Amino acid sequence: MQVDIIGVPIDLGADRRGVDMGPSAIRYSHLQHKIQELGYTVKDEGNVEVPIAEMCKITDPKLKYVDCIVPMSRRVAGAVATSIQAKRFPLVIGGDHSLSIGSVRGAARNQKIGVIWIDAHADFNTNETTPSGNIHGMSLAALAGKGAKSLVQLRDEAIPVIDPSKIAIIGARDLDAGEKANLKESGVMVMGMEQVDRYGMVNVIEKAIEQISRDVDGIYLSLDMDALDPEHAPGVGTPVAAGLNQREVHLVCELISETGKLIGMDLVEVNPILDVQNRTATLAVEFALSALGRRIWSHT
């Protein structure tokens, strides 16, 4: 299989600058070479065109930079859809989590998918519940059909809304009040750190996979590096203490890989300005390898 690397250097969805350099940091950690070592053909498609903040205006404080984020999302959706329709594997590297409004949408074009969202946050705010107006906190809600019409429909496209019952959030530990209400209303599976600690990651991810993989054409994995404890991944814009450890995230990627249904993946929120010796970007590459089938030891 061919892996298509698609960079999305966006920081418009977040408050902190610097995450737009995430794609470069991930590439610098030998992403292409290491995937090739697994036996894949790799094509780096370069970066999707993204304007810088200085070129954009905030026309709605509850939807910051929406006029620039919507066209970006459409470009990302097109790139991902093209990759999947050509029977390739899109690996989307960011950039803040607003890019997933495009990537997951593109993966869902003409097919039904399940989504696993590994994140300290649920990203399930809308323009009515957001405390910040930052769109990277609304991306999953928009994909599930909630929130501003411009984000849900990307202005004039048909709505390939992801069935909320086919979404599982893993590792959440920082949810806003309005977001919690949205999640309960939608019926999204939320497996926060309490569930991970109580039941163990194997049970949590197996339950998630069982729910979201039934009657779908594929699984899409969106991995926000702030899901990890800041001790392991310091280079993120919105760190939250008491997060996942490296081994737990590797296990998630490995078990999803073993389903044989993984069709694409996001690696988001790597901020090299806040990182220590590129540790977070290097870790992101390692997780991509696990999702693509790398194992330390095989019993088969």
Active-site residue, from 96, 121, 250, 275: 121
Among candidate residues 136, 174, 248, 250, the one labeled active-site is: 136
Is 197 known to be catalytic? no
Burial of 144 (0-12, 13-18, 19+ CB in 10 A): buried
Q: Is 29 within 8 Å of 283 (Cβ atoms)? A: no
Q: Is the peptide bond before 192 cis (omega within 30 degrees of 0)?
A: no
Is 97 noted as a catalytic residue in this protein? yes
Q: Identify the H or E element spanning 43.
A: strand 41-47
Task: Name every residue whose Cβ is closer than 8 Å to that of residue 89 and which is 6 or more positions away in sequence.
Answer: 1, 2, 3, 4, 40, 83, 262, 263, 264, 265, 292
Active-site hit among 179, 226, 248, 266: 226
Answer yes or no: 123 catalytic: yes
Task: Give catalytic status of residue 33 as yes or no.
Answer: no
As a whole number of angstroms, the distance between CA 185 and CA 79 comes to 32
Contacts of 215 (CB under 8 A, 6+ apart): 112
Question: Do 202 and 95 meet the contact criterion of CB atoms below 8 Å apart?
Answer: no
206 is catalytic: no
Cα–Cα nearest to 101, from 161, 55, 61, 169: 161
Please name the residues in contact with 235: beta carbons below 8 A apart, sequence gap of 6 or more. Answer: 25, 225, 270, 271, 272, 273, 274, 275, 276, 278, 279, 280, 281
From the list 123, 174, 179, 248, the catalytic residue is 123
Catalytic residue among 11, 163, 224, 275: 224
192 φ, ψ (degrees, to nearest 5): -80, -175
215 is a catalytic site residue:
no
Catalytic pick from 11, 20, 96, 119?
119
Q: How far apart are CA 289 and CA 284, in angstroms?
A: 9
CB contact at 8 A, 250 and 287: yes
The set of catalytic residues is 97, 119, 121, 123, 136, 224, 226, 269
